[in-house]
Amino acid sequence: MSDPLSATLSALADPTRRAILARLSLGDATVNELAEPFEISLPAVSRHLKVLESAGLISRGREAQWRPCKLKVQSLKAVDDWLSVYRRFWEESFDRMGAYIDELKHGEDDERAKKNRR
Amino acid sequence: MSDPLSATLSALADPTRRAILARLSLGDATVNELAEPFEISLPAVSRHLKVLESAGLISRGREAQWRPCKLKVQSLKAVDDWLSVYRRFWEESFDRMGAYIDELKHGEDDERAKKNRR
């Protein structure tokens, strides 16, 4: 029922699911390979994969036995696009900090110039 | 109980809450001002604000009557930082597309050069 962006954000709101995506960013993996580093059962991993798959964050191969999981980045890009509106807030404050540092530096240069003139 | 990033992502997984943040990105607003464009009750807006506040996405003023809401961008920046690991996927594919377009262009130039030589 939820919109695609809400479904993606909801799927990402879990540290195990984010860790699974991080693993898949290094390459495709089977459920067994994904379960290995986590201290949770295979069925629990399968449930997480189902959430990630229905949110469009991963796809799964057709082979019944292996069904390797693959990262799909389009949904992550949609989050990135949504965030871009807000990025100016931290980029602006970063720019302001840069301007302030420049100001301090120029102040120092001016002081030095004055001293040299004396 | 959930980690800060999960709490932020979970709070963002709702279109009304994202619309409230978009409104606050334009400036501080009271609950009444926030409720106006939405066809939902004041208590429903208040519940959304509580979720946003506990996820660190907004802060609220002290004045009991007005309590203006203010956007807090640090949590959004944390999502942006988390996403930065994945950004290379679409930036790389964008670069590849650019390289492909360049290749097509050069191909055309070569064709034109050949024709001129004839």
pLDDT tens digits, one per residue of A39-54: 888 999 999 999 999 9
Name which of B6, B79, B87 is nearest A15 (Cβ-Cβ).
B6
Query: Do A85 and A92 contact (CB within 8 A), yes or no?
Result: no
| Averaged pLDDT, B38-51 | 92
Alpha-carbon span A20 to A29, nearest angstrom: 10
How much is the pLDDT for A62? 80
Q: If you search the block for the tokens 């003023």, which residue do you land on? A: B61
* A25/B15 Cβ within 8 A: no
Alpha-carbon span A99 to B85, nearest angstrom: 28
Token digits for B115? 């024709």
Residue-averaged pLDDT of chain B: 87
End-to-end CA distance of chain A: 75
Give Cβ neighbours of residue A46 (< 8 Å, ≥ 6 apart): A31
* A9/B13 Cβ within 8 A: yes
Tens digits of per-residue pLDDT, A51-84? 999 999 999 988 767 789 999 999 999 999 999 9
Q: How far is A115 from chain B (nearest CA, A)?
A: 42
Residue B101 predicted with pLDDT over 90: no
Instruction: Count the neighbouring beta carbons within 10 Å of the beta carbon of residue B88.
Output: 12
How much is the pLDDT for B2? 80
* B83/A89 Cβ within 8 A: no
Residue B63 predicted with pLDDT over 90: no
Name which of A10, A25, A86 is nearest B25 (Cβ-Cβ).
A86
pTM score above 0.90: no
**For the CA atoms of chain B, what is the radius of gyration?**
24
Which has more pLDDT, A108 or A62?
Answer: A62
Q: For the ranges A8-22, A85-99, B70-84, which has the lowest average pLDDT?
A: A85-99
